[in-house]
Amino acid sequence: MTTGWTWGYGRYEPERERLVESLCTLGNGRFATRGSAPECSAGPVHYPGTYLAGCYDRRTSTVGGRSVENEDLVNLPNWTLLRYRCLPDDEPPGDWLTPGSPDLRHYEVRLDLRAGTLTRQLYFRDAHGRGLRVGHTRIVHMGDAHLAAQRSTFRAYGWSGAVEVESVLDGAVSNAGVERYRDLEGHHLTDLTSGFEADGTAWLSCRTHDPGIRLALAVRTDTAPEVPAGQKATPTGTVQTYRLPVVPRRSVSVVKTLALHTSMDRPDGDPRAEACDALTRTPDFSRLLTTHEASWRRLWEQGELDVPGEEGRILRLHLFHLLQTLSPHTAELDVGVPARGLHGEAYRGHIFWDELFVLPHLNLHFPEVARALLMYRHRRLPAARAAARDAGGQGAMYPWQSASSGREETQELHLNPRSGRWLPDNSRLQHHVGSAVAYNVWRYAQTTGDRGFLHAEGAEVLLEVARYWSGAAAFDPGLRRYRIRGVVGPDEYHDAYPGAADPGIDDNAYTNATAAWVLARGLDLLEDLPPARKAELREDLSLDNDELARWEDVSRRLHIPFHQGVISQFDGWGDLAELDWEGYRARYGDIRRLDRILEAEGDTVNRYQASKQADTLMLGYLFRPSELHALFARLGCPLDDDTWRATVAYHLRRTSHGSTLSSLVHGWVTARGKGADAWRYCEEALLGDVADLQGGTTGEGIHLGAMAGTLDLVERGITGLAAVPEGLHVEPVALAQIPRFSFTVCFRGHRGVRVRMLPGRLGIQVPDSRGGPLPVVLPDGRRFGVRPGEERWFRL
């Protein structure tokens, strides 16, 4: 149910509650709380969870007879829990009421995207006709990143008496939101203590095991009318009990206000004292709601994207969740881009390469946040250098999965739920993540004009990734080219050759091409640096002329395999067997996770030309056609339009789309190539989470890269918007389903630049300022300057 700025659900369906909880999560960039029903603790149906950005804990588990370490984003104590039951006059108390109660007659969940509020409306009526209407309104404050609040109202119909309410602060929680991880240690909180302040504020203190982050949650419970509270502190939390007198058609209310402080805060202090003190200064719910809504208004102005119709409503939901995970508050934190947001425990809250799909939007709307996320990578450059050394390499080798420290967090085993078997996980061989980090550095600087960052921290990251690729490439005299062996590409399915004893495949085209690109940009950057900074970096990194000459040579002679006139996914790809795609679809229906199907059959996807997601075609996502042609020309592999179109068609037919990113990338590539199937992939990317197309995974956390990527698909993909040295390049493509839209961007010091797309026309409006004209480059090479205070329209 979607109307305007509202996203909602009109009935209670237990099998859908986890999905509702993820899509109705509220957050402010520092922490987020799943949109769970306040009445329920964690169980088979409901899974309340609160997650603090960057709060990880390392535990050891025994899996398959092996001891394995995992670092997880920690599920914090549940501050939302509120139990209630009816106490009719002169009768024994009824049962605690929940959405699953047989007396439930109405249930509605509504997420207000404009205001950042979540409301629930429930109506219960018993066999005697006595009714109770309950309404919950929840916020996670976007202005003050330490606060959240929940107001619950109760109204009786046809009876008098009291409503008994228990306001609970529950620390008896664990990480149990993903069934596949059931064998992993999920208890991450220890040293729990709880109590009450003199004013009735409840508090709970605890810490994680490793690294021992101290956490404190303080909750102030206010009732209207005011009634005395019964208080009980337990080893795992607090319970405050109230009896609110009710008469027909008159409301009573309970408000829980949370303050969350930790030892991660700057400056570090006493989390418990700070949390309790914060509540003494926190206003009532109505004032909190007003300031919260004002903060959201400012965010929407900065991140504006106006697309008509249902597509626009879904895009607005995607933007809402992006801003809740990565808000301006993120700029103050040392955190990366969690692949599943702060919405659940899938992927254990780890950081992969998803910033590749997230940063393009942030670069254009929230450049300070984008810079902070790149600083997360820079702070972990020492760990990436150490990883390269430990692997016998040089430079910086960034991990496929990162968390708090920057060490490799990829699990060594993963569970196939179809077969029940724990299998080796070789995805840590996806070293192409380093190229993504370097690419993000370069694109950020191009878009924002932040040469200070590019010449300082950005240069250190990009040059060290280039150095890694130079060392990883080995010269093959027979091919007279350099090769990169023993890797895994973005496909992820193929982690070894059929029957091979060692993991990894050779010369993944995406890996090699992006490595060549990084090496070339490293050389360009060195030439662009001021002489003093160039000399400083060359001395600090011990970059001599011989090494730079090798960079030049490798960047021009890395091997790109071809077969049958198309780019191969990796060397030997064309020798693999063809899969009976129609046969498997007929037998299984949904074959997105083809790897699990084949393994359960005793087979392996390594034997087939079958990709999980875009691999080779990722090159068409990262690079405009002219850039891709130039890259392949530099490598001595001329790539014409016909070869690229054939490559796209070849690999599309052999992809199972087992990742939400797959439809996004294929939608982008086919739209830019004016393919007939473009909208089919774009639509699937839009629906990936809201329709839970991956079969139950959204309830474990949203797919942040895919959500952000759909925004970027409209803003950059359809408009062809790109930052080039000459200015803002535009090269729109027609997508009939989204013919008109508008958005605002930041570009090289210009803020609030409005871009409007209409059939056959594109308008650019620059707000009045003291800056110079915004340079615009059209597809035919013509250049125009749009002056501050001016709007210009271009026919296309």
The predicted-structure confidence for 697-724, as pLDDT tens digits, reads as follows: 999 999 999 999 999 999 999 999 999 9
Which band of pLDDT confidence, cut at 50, 70 and 90, is reported for residue 412?
Answer: confident
pLDDT tens across 284-321, in order?
A: 999 999 999 999 999 999 998 999 999 999 999 999 99
Q: Is the pLDDT of residue 64 over 80?
A: no
Q: What is the DSSP string of 591-611?
A: -TTHHHHHHHTT--GGGBS-B
Torsion of CA 181, 185, 188, 190, to 10 degrees: 150
Structure tokens at 98: 């929940």
pLDDT tens across 467-489, in order?
A: 999 999 999 999 999 999 999 99
Q: Are 275 and 204 in contact (CB under 8 A)?
A: no
Round to whole Å and give the CA distance between 83 and 88.
17
The order of strands in the sheet holding 66-75 is 26-27, 31-33, 50-63, 66-75
Which band of pLDDT confidence, cut at 50, 70 and 90, is reported for residue 2?
Answer: very low
Which residue, among 547, 496, 490, has the nearest Cα to 519 in the 3D structure? 547
Round to whole Å and give the CA distance between 703 and 691.
12
pTM for this entry:
0.97
Which band of pLDDT confidence, cut at 50, 70 and 90, is reported for residue 734?
Answer: confident
Per-residue confidence (pLDDT) for residue 90, from 0 to 100: 85
Per-residue confidence (pLDDT) for residue 724, from 0 to 100: 94
Distances (CA, A) of 590 to 19, 582, 585, 658: 19, 11, 7, 10
**Active-site residue identified among 39, 71, 492, 684:** 492
Distances (CA, A) of 604 to 150, 601, 607, 636: 50, 8, 6, 35
Structure tokens at 740: 């008109």
Share above pLDDT 90 across residues of the chain, in percent, rounded to a whole number: 93
Q: Are 741 and 757 in contact (CB under 8 A)?
A: yes
Q: Is the pLDDT of residue 1 over 50?
A: no
Structure tokens at 192: 């729990």
Round to whole Å and give the CA distance between 194 and 216.
10
Round to whole Å and give the CA distance between 252 and 468.
64
Q: Pairing state of beta strands 413-416 and 421-424? A: antiparallel
Round to whole Å and give the CA distance between 262 and 54.
11
**Which amino acid type is present at position 228?**
P
37 alpha-carbon distance from chain centroid:
23
The dihedrals phi and psi of 358, each to the nearest 5 degrees, come to -95, -45
Round to whole Å and give the CA distance between 242 and 188.
31
**Which amino acid type is present at position 780?**
D
pLDDT tens across 12-55, in order?
A: 999 999 999 999 999 999 999 999 999 999 999 999 999 999 99
pLDDT tens across 418-456, in order?
A: 998 888 999 999 999 999 999 999 999 999 999 999 999
Q: Are 766 and 787 in contact (CB under 8 A)?
A: yes
Per-residue confidence (pLDDT) for residue 109, from 0 to 100: 98
Per-residue confidence (pLDDT) for residue 127, from 0 to 100: 94
State yes or no: is 492 an active-site residue.
Answer: yes
Which band of pLDDT confidence, cut at 50, 70 and 90, is reported for residue 608?
Answer: very high
Positive or negative CA dihedral for 595, 596, 598, 602? positive
**Which amino acid type is present at position 424?**
P
**Mean pLDDT (whole number) for 411-424:** 88
Other Cβ atoms closer than 10 A to 188:
25
**Mean pLDDT (whole number) for 188-199:** 98
Cβ-proximal residues to 643 (8 Å cutoff; 6+ apart), any chain: 565, 566, 567
Round to whole Å and give the CA distance between 760 and 480.
48
Per-residue confidence (pLDDT) for residue 666, from 0 to 100: 95
Q: Are 33 and 138 in contact (CB under 8 A)?
A: yes
**Mean pLDDT (whole number) for 524-531:** 97
**Mean pLDDT (whole number) for 101-124:** 98
Per-residue confidence (pLDDT) for residue 695, from 0 to 100: 87
What residues are paired with 723 via a beta bridge?
Answer: 728
Round to whole Å and give the CA distance between 673 and 651.
15
pLDDT tens across 622-654, in order?
A: 999 999 999 999 999 999 999 999 999 999 999
Which band of pLDDT confidence, cut at 50, 70 and 90, is reported for residue 3?
Answer: low
- Alpha helices for 142-229 (secondary structure H): none
Round to whole Å and give the CA distance between 687 and 652.
19
**Helix (H/G/I), strand (E/B), else coil: 116:** coil
Round to whole Å and give the CA distance between 488 and 571.
12
